Amino acid sequence: MPEPAKRELTVVKNAVCTFCGCVCDDIELHADHERIVETKRACNLGEAWFKNHTAEHLYPDALIDGKEATVDDAIEAAADYLHAAHMPLVYGLSNTTCEAQREAVWLAELVGGVIDSHTSL
């Protein structure tokens, strides 16, 4: 009986986990073409977060008022909401990348908003 073909894995070294406030930055990830299949140097919470992160498969790329929309239309709607808001709150960044968090801080400063996270609860 022939051996099953080994799947090609992508290896990412020094990945950053933003699940909690520790922001561990020495994690190694092994992924097939669909998902992360192995983590090295991640705690139990980080490993579960990386391996079970499936939001990209559950939702469309963009929504406006709960309805599917194009990304361009969603960006326009978000800009309209932010322009009309008085001191908007940017919240819920614990599951985003460092790069996305940096952009969120820039956006909050641009629109006169504030940043908060789950640690204030």
Rounded average pLDDT per 10-residue block, the chain, 121 residues: 72 89 89 89 93 72 92 96 94 84 94 87 72
25 near 41, Cβ under 8 Å?
A: no
DSSP string, 38-88: EEES--HHHHHHHHH--HHHHS-S-EETTEE--HHHHHHHHHHHHHH-SSP
Domain that holds residue 28: 10-56
Q: Strand order of the sheet with strand 10-15?
A: 10-15, 27-31, 36-40
**For residue 117, what pLDDT is reported?**
82
**For residue 119, what pLDDT is reported?**
76
Please state whether the predicted TM-score (pTM) of the whole model is above 0.85: no
Is residue 3 included in any domain, yes or no? no
**For residue 92, what pLDDT is reported?**
83
Q: Which residues pair with 28 in a beta bridge?
A: 40
Number of domains in the chain: 2
Is residue 47 included in any domain, yes or no? yes
Residue reference for tokens 């326009």: 76
Is residue 91 included in any domain, yes or no? yes
Q: Are residues 116 and 63 in the same domain?
A: yes
